Chains A and B, each alone.
Chain A
Amino acid sequence: MSRRPNPRRTGQPGAPLALAAALALAGCAAPVSDRVILLPQPDGAPSAVEVGAGAQRLRLDRPYAVAELRGGTLAPASTDAAAVRQQYGLLLSQQPAAPRHFTLPFESNAQRLAPGAEPVLAELRAALAAMPAPEVVVTGHTDRVGSLEANDRLSLARAEAVRELLVAAGVGRTQISVVGRGEREPLVPTADEVAEPRNRRVEIKLR
């Protein structure tokens, strides 16, 4: 284990060199107390992390940018996908899978599944069977007709109705939670009080 550089001694001859050498060796057992690595987003969307240590600030805003804290000093570095895979393989292997979204077709009012629902249900059950400790989140939505509060209740009732359909279709009740999002998340943006059938819907999420 190499000696941790002390920032109060950086005036010593050789210290900057040692620091540069340590930086070059980043990834080995370097005297780094903390390291933050920004990973790419799957869709390539911009991403950033603001790292703070005491009064120091460092912003990471490109994939595989690294912030390292050594001896109390925050410094930028970088890495790449292969190095991250090698060093953090076990960590990354345990990351749960991203949630999966399903849309079940319903007849009006979400009281009954439409005839085309069975293939989707089959896919949903297959996905559930393949997931460790799966959760099903059923989220109801409304259009913007009516008050926020009434739509909260309505969307929850819609989600509860779909929960019953899923339970009847063989999904374990204790795996399912219900959410009413009310009119907050329209599929099709509208002005208030506009009736929009596409916004009356129930989404099913597996995670």
Chain B
Amino acid sequence: MPLSARPPSDGLPPRPTRPARPQAGGLALLLAAAALLGAAPGTSTAQTDAQTAAGSAVAGIVKRSVGDVSLERAGQRLPVRPGTVVQVGDTLRTGADGAAGLTLADDSRLSAGPGTELVLSTFRFDATTQDGQLLVSLWRGTLNLVTGLIGKKAPEQVKVQTRTVVLGVRGTEFIVDSTGATP
């Protein structure tokens, strides 16, 4: 159906090349808000656009971290702190005193306890349709997973595996403990 059939009360222009700017009244309010914060608006849209594009490299963001925690990506060891980006295929490792928590793009929340090695083996998420797939491999240690939008729409698309066990998820929150696993 052509856009012109849309009631006039609904509908921005179909595809503005630049996002609409606030008009006078709203702008005053917003300027006051910005002044209050003393914050400067960001300067580049490129990063956010890249993150939201299909096939994005950003699967998740580390939110919490204590003790010895690192990421391994393509053979390189990367330090981990809140804000660190996690990509598909990354291995998260924690030391005996380490633990970390991250949020995935579908709102899944995942934490790793001490002495853990886990891999984000599969993660795909289409934010528009909320279709996707998640596979976490827990090679040792402990994992607490709270499933997000993928699990809500299609629980069968969320799986956790250890060296010996495979979990099909029908609910939202659980712990997997593979501390006693021998390689």
Contact = CB atoms under 8 A, between A and B. Distances in A.
User: Real complex partners, A and B?
Assistant: yes
A72 B180 CA distance: 12
* Pairs A-B, 3 closest by C-beta atoms: A47-B171, A173-B42, A91-B113
A34 B7 contact: no
B74 interface: no
Given A172-B39, A176-B48, A38 B3 contact: no
Given A150-B1, A158-B12, A173-B44, A49 B23 contact: no
B135 interface: no
Contacts of B70: none
A66 B176 CA distance: 10
Interface string A159-179: 011011101111111101111
Give chain A's interface residue range (CB within 8 Å of chain B): 35 or more
A178 B12 contact: no
Given A92-B111, A161-B19, A145 B5 contact: yes
Interface residues of B, number: 85
B25 interface: yes
Contacts of A74: 165
A113 interface: yes
Interface of A: 30-41, 46-53, 60-61, 67, 69, 72, 74, 84, 88, 90-99, 107-113, 115, 117-118, 121-122, 125, 131-133, 135, 137, 139, 142-143, 145-147, 150, 152-154, 157-158, 160-161, 163-165, 167-174, 176-182, 184, 193, 195, 197, 200, 205, 207
A37 B33 contact: no
A197 B9 CA distance: 8
Contacts of B178: 33-35
A112 B30 CA distance: 10
A34 B100 contact: no
B158 to A, nearest CB: 10
B29 A98 contact: no
Given A132-B64, A165-B22, A96 B101 contact: yes
21 contacts: A34-B181, A35-B177, A36-B165, A36-B174, A37-B174, A38-B174, A50-B170, A51-B168, A88-B177, A90-B66, A95-B101, A96-B101, A112-B22, A132-B64, A133-B63, A164-B19, A165-B30, A170-B34, A177-B51, A184-B128, A195-B10
Given A37-B177, A172-B41, A179-B52, 13 more contacts: A33-B181, A49-B168, A51-B165, A92-B144, A94-B112, A113-B22, A113-B26, A132-B83, A157-B13, A157-B14, A160-B19, A168-B31, A172-B42
B11 interface: yes
Contact of A133 (B62, B112, B162, B172): B62
A154 B1 CA distance: 13
B10 A37 contact: no
Contact of A94 (B44, B99, B172): B99
Nearest to B177: A35
Interface string B121-147: 000000111100000000000111010
A117 B173 contact: no
A39 B144 CA distance: 9
Contacts of A133: 61-63, 82-83
Nearest to A160: B19
B176 A34 contact: yes
Most buried by B among A60, A92, A110: A92
Most buried by A among B9, B34, B169, B174: B174
B47 interface: yes
